[in-house]
Structure 1
Amino acid sequence: MTFSLVARCAETGMFGMAISSSSPAVAARCAFARAGVGAVASQNVTDPSLGPLTLDLMQGGMSAPEAIAEVQARGQFMEYRQVLAVDGQGRTAIHSGPKSLGIWTQAEAENVASGGNLLANDSVPQAIVAGFTGAKGHIGDRLIAAMRAGLSAGGEAGPVHSAGMLIVDKVAWPVAELRCDWTQGCPIENIATAWEVYKPQLDAYTQRALDPREAPSYGVPGDE
């Protein structure tokens, strides 16, 4: 019911992930990232605890493949789970349990991994990886390009209704966390529209948190 990617920007060290599903509020359960550590997707009959666990293992010194192997050993009902990870060196790993739903498959390249279940066809994750590696610019732009590529390749077997994009940088909180929890339209395009609005303001929101004295004006009535 889901397709996603986790990714690292080799130039900036930012991590990001994007995801879409026919289920409501997919990003609330499946999207995880930690600055300086990595990004994780936990999906397909989702166990949200596997996301923080994978990040903790990588923060403790494990590579993405080592962390996924440990999650496979510790997790419950792993035959139903899909877990994707990318670490600070751009190494990737994916666990896809044999009881993943419908057509399920995965694809990896340096700095990016994609997986999906209940897919329209088995080419979707590879299209997502190609969409990310072939795109230029901010990691957010590349995540959107990748998800659009996955949708163009067929996406999920049925219509998707929710999507999300999560980006972390050098601070302890996400610098971007955009979600469409339910729509009858295209949730990926809703996220893309939100990103167009948010991207020019991303640095300003971070600066306001770090030191509002150095931040740009708020652009609202009464702001001087």
Structure 2
Amino acid sequence: MTFSIVGRCAETGQLGIAISSSSIAVGARCPWVRAGVGAVATQNVTLPALGPQILDQLEAGLDPAAALDKALSSNGYSQFRQVTVIDQHGKVALFTGSEALGVNHAVAGENCVAAGNLLSSTAVIEAMTQAFENASGCLAERLIAAMQAAMAAGGEAGPVHSAALKVVGDLVWPMVDLRVDWADEAPIDELEKLWVAYKPQMQDYITRALDPTKAPSYGVPGDE
């Protein structure tokens, strides 16, 4: 049903998630990031509350394993959950419940954790961590490279239809927050196209938010 990767850039401290699913609008329920704190992917039969709860515990000083355990134990039904966590220091935690769907797997790599369920094979997740570790470019590009590697390795057992990418840096809001809520085919390709279009404008949107006097013009009505 879903596969994802949470990751950290050791050079910039950026944290992020890329995720894809056969379900609609995976980006609305499963990826959670908080600047200077961590990133969480909560999937399978997802409970969206796990994301902010784990981030709260990380921010309060718990390590990823303790934060994950506390959130799972306080909500129940952990056997249906699959959750991965990375904190601002690159420490990770992962959990897959006994009722996870189909072929499922989770792997921790260097500054990343990948996980998935209803997979074509466990090799999909192995390919994700390897691609992330070997990819060049910024964090967003490395996360997308991991998703493309997952598809090349077989992806889900069935077609995927939605995808999302979130990255945080020094600011309290995401510097990247892109979603493909539904595509009949190849949502990860569509997500990559969105990233390619957004990347040249990303810094401009940060600049105009922090100092409107320096806001660049985009030639739209009222934007001088």
Query: TM-score normalized by structure 1?
Result: 0.97
- Secondary structure (helix, strand or coil) at the match of 2:29 reads helix
Aligned equivalent of 1:194: 194
Q: Which amino acid aligns with 1:165?
A: L
Could you tell me how far 1:221 is from its partner in structure 2? Answer: 5.3
Q: Give distance in 2, aligned partners of 1:204 and 1:18.
A: 23
Aligned residue for 1:163, secondary structure, equals: strand
* Superposed displacement of residue 66, structure 1: 1.9
Give ranges in structure 2 of 5+ residues lacking alignment. Answer: none
Identity %: 50
- Alpha-carbon contact 1:36-1:169 (below 8 Å) kept: yes
- What is the distance in 2 between the residues matched to 1:45 and 1:73? 16
Is 1:115–2:112 an aligned residue pair?
no
Distance 1:222 1:22 in 2: 40
Aligned to 2:103: 103
Deviations along 1:72-102, whole A, 9 cap, x unmatched?
A: 3222200000111000110111010010000
Task: State the AA in 2 paired with 1:207.
Answer: T
Contact residue 120 and residue 154 of structure 2 kept, 8 A: yes
Number of positions where the alignment pairs a residue of Structure 1 with one of Structure 2: 224
What is the CA distance between 1:223 and its match in structure 2?
4.2
Q: Which residue of 2 aligns with 1:25?
A: 25
Distance (whole Å) between structure 2 residues aligned to residue 71 and residue 129 of structure 1: 25
Structure 1 residue 39: Cα displacement: 0.5
Query: Contact 2:179–2:191 at 8 Å: present in 1 too?
Result: yes
Structure 1 Cα separation of the partners of residues 11 and 122 of structure 2: 30
Say if 2:30 and 2:51, in contact at 8 Å, map to a contact too. Answer: yes
Code of the aligned partner of 2:20: S
Q: Secondary structure at the match of 1:20?
A: strand
* Secondary structure of 1:208's aligned partner: helix
Match of 2:2?
A: 2
Question: Which 4+ stretches in 1 moved above 6 angstroms?
Answer: none
Give the Cα separation in 1 of the matches to 2:186 and 2:157: 14
Contact 1:91/1:110 (<8 A) preserved: no
Distance 2:140 2:192 in 1: 9
Deviation at 1:166, TM superposition (A): 0.7
Could you tell me which residue of structure 2 aligns to residue 165 of structure 1?
165
Matched, 1:40 2:40: yes
Q: Deviations over 1:2-22 (max 9, x none)?
A: 000111111111111010011
- 1:130 aligns with 130
User: Displacement of 1:222 after TM fit?
Assistant: 5.7
Tell me the CA shift for residue 127 of structure 1: 0.7
2:181 corresponds to 1:178: no
Question: C-alpha distance in 2, partners of 1:156/1:127?
Answer: 13
Per the alignment, residue 151 of structure 2 pairs with: 151
Give the Cα separation in 1 of the matches to 2:219 and 2:109: 42
- Secondary structure at the aligned position of 1:178 is classed as strand
User: Deviation at 1:176?
Assistant: 1.1
Shift of 1:217: 2.5
